[in-house]
Amino acid sequence: MYNLGDLTYKNQPKIISDEVVDSFLKKLKDYLEKNNGTHFQFIFHGGEPLLAPMEWYKYFISSAEQMLNGVKIRFTLQTNGVLYNEKWANFLQENKIYSSFSWDGPKQIHDKFRVYHNNKGSYDEVKSALALYKSKFGHVSGLTVLNDEVTPSEYYTNVKELGITHFTIIFPQLHHDTDEQFNHFENSKTSGFFGKWLAELFDIWWFDRDKDKPVIHYFANIITLLLGGEATSEGLGSGENNVVVLETNGDIETTTALKSCGPAFTKEGNNILTHTIEESIDSDLIKLFVYSHKEVSQNCKECSLLKICGGGRLNERYSYQNGFDNPSVYCNDYKVIIHHIKERLFSTLTKEEREYYEVAY
């Protein structure tokens, strides 16, 4: 995987070999049996996963189903949508591979960053891909990075125009010492700006009376947490982040977001051809990521919002001087959006309900 200047992907194969697949699935089977694992989710990521041929997917899926007999398997895929066509749509549907599409908002924003080698934007192709997927599955999910060049109103209008039914919005992958060449967001240094942007988006969504309005996972998860429920992601909640990456060369690493902390940052020397799953996930960085909502700075431990924001995503806390022993670079943004949602949510409750749910807050 590539992220913010980390070029280690150039030293790796473009596609995972059968040897790596076989070793991974065999060791995964052993790991699940030892730990009584009954469910497992595979996420095909990239780069762009649709660059791999269908024959590769057929081999992986059949091998996984044979090797992990008795385990409930789920396959998902994150794509930019450019290669998604009728053939791929039918293949993914037949194999129950559920997809999410990466897009950057309205056409003028999307086409600024997601371009072909000839600098032509890819928005129109992604729009067609979203419509095709929705026609097959009846729903379509998206993933987008918050962008300060578009207003919340323009952004939400675009979501509805594209027919997106569920989507995840994430903060730009910045930390306290991100090199300026990788920071394209003019307002990232304005404390609370992104929080106010999200608060405006929340109100547009909250007061939208369309029964088919999209589910915004970030908002839905905050609401769940404020009401005392459980919801965990890399950037919210108090649960464990049970995700690892299998690179194309067999390396077992923590997630791509940590690559934003520096070149080869996620490389800890563990490879599926030479290490077991247990050995690989016992590495310092992977363990820190898994328990990142518990391993937070002292400031976070003393904050009443910790059970909601979980300290934010691990990469957002990084600095050259203190490592990860810092609040998130988006700490004030979290405070703004969480307080805003709390006020909107609790204003709809009775006095007794507010007093009851304050326990969660």
State pLDDT tens for residues 302-327: 999 999 999 999 999 999 999 999 99
pLDDT for 182-220, tens place per residue? 555 565 565 789 999 999 999 999 999 999 999 999 999
The span from the CA of 257 to the CA of 255, in Å, is: 6
Structure tokens at 306: 């910790």
Residue 151: inside a domain, yes or no?
A: yes
Distance between CA 103 and CA 29 in Å, rounded? Answer: 35
What residue numbers bound the domain in which 215 lies?
8-346
Cα torsion 138, 144, 146, 147 to 10°: value is -110
| Structural domain count of the chain | 1
CATH code of the domain covering residue 96? 3.20.20.70
User: Confidence band (pLDDT; 50, 70, 90) for 267?
Assistant: very high
User: Is 351 within a domain?
Assistant: no
Average pLDDT over residues 235-263: 94
pTM (whole model) above 0.85: yes
CA distance 132 to 127: 9
Q: Does residue 353 belong to any structural domain of this protein?
A: no
Task: Calculate mean pLDDT across residues 106-129.
Answer: 92
